[in-house]
Structure formats: structure tokens, C-alpha cells
Amino acid sequence: MPVGEREALTGLITMLIVVVLATFRLFDQHASGAFDGPDALQVWARSILILIGVSIAIAIAVSVLAHILEAVLTGERPDDRRDERDHLIERRALSWAWYLLSFGILAVIVDLAFGSSAFRALNLMLALCAGAELVKDGVKLILYRRGS
């Protein structure tokens, strides 16, 4: 398996875990009224910083596990070289993620202009970042699987 394909797969797994964790955590805080006070944005920001730290730890763990699993299944040391095709696939995937992020941010700004709260805008931005990451890894996986 090319290194880019493995990274896309581990990225998707990591992001799905993080999205589930973040959703539960934020909904839980919302239900307990943590975001009702005047310091709602600070509470939100602290939660997100903790989630970023947790997601880095999850990414490292998933990556190491995938590396070990591939070595066990194939009986060979995984090939971590990147070539021109890996770079091309990376660029294509990044452009898809960039389109989503650009149009998404524009939509959030329009939403703000029509009276949406800053809190809602921040949550939408966060969801957009996660969505863009999922799209990037998903496109990469499709391109690798298609053979292009």
C-alpha cells in the first residue's frame, strides 16, 4: 500500500473518531448549560484545544497501529517512499478540500450577515474544517483505489 493511501485511510479513521468525540463532548456541554454564560466562547475554545490535543494523540496511535498492521499482514516493512503520483494525488485531494472550505466559509459569512450568532459560526467553521479533512482523505483514497 502506498504511503499516501495508508495516510488517507488512517486520516479518515482518526477524523471519524474525533468527530464522534467532539460531537458528544460539545452536545454534552451544551446540554449542561456550559455555553450559556458570558464566557461561553472561552469555554468552547478550551474544549476545542483539548480536542485538538486528543486528536493528535489519536492520529499518532492510529498511524503506528496501521504501520504495524501492514507490516504484519504483508510480511514486509511498509514502503514510505513518495513519488510523483503521490504528490499529484495529494494536490488533487487538497484542491477538493480547498473548494469545500472556501465555499463553506463564504456560506458562514453570509449566515452571519443574516443574523446568526458568532457561536454558531465558530461551530460551523469547526465542522467545515473536519469536513474538508474528510473530503481530502476520501478523495485521496478514491484516487488511489481507482489507480489514477
Partner 1 sequence: MARIENRIRRLRFDAGEMTQKDLAERVGVTRQTLLAIENGKYAPTLELAFRIARTFGVGIDDVFTFHDE
C-beta of residue 126 within 8 angstroms of C-beta of residue 25? no
Q: How deeply is 54 buried, as exposed, middle or buried, from its count of CB atoms within 10 A (0-12, 13-18, 19+)?
A: middle
85 binds partner 1 (CB under 8 A): yes
Backbone angles phi, psi at 100, to 5 degrees: -60, -45
Closer of 26 and 139 to partner 1 (Cβ)? 139
From 57-65, 76-84, 95-103, 130-138, give the range in contact with partner 1 by CB under 8 A: 76-84
75 binds partner 1 (CB under 8 A): no
DSSP annotation of 116: -
146 binds partner 1 (CB under 8 A): yes
**H-run or E-run covering 62:** helix 40-74
Subset of residues 86 to 105 that bind partner 1, contact rule: CB under 8 A = 86
**Among positions 31, 33, 75, 84, the unique one binding partner 1 when judged by CB under 8 A:** 84
C-beta of residue 14 within 8 angstroms of C-beta of residue 146? no
Residues 6+ apart with CB under 8 A from 131: 100, 104
Closer of 39 and 83 to partner 1 (Cβ)? 83
Q: Is the dihedral of CA 41, 113, 101, 124 positive or negative?
A: positive
Closer of 25 and 85 to partner 1 (Cβ)? 85
33 binds partner 1 (CB under 8 A): no
**Among positions 81, 91, 113, 115, the unique one binding partner 1 when judged by CB under 8 A:** 81
Interface contacts to partner 1, rule CB under 8 A: 1-2, 5, 79, 81, 83-86, 144, 146-148
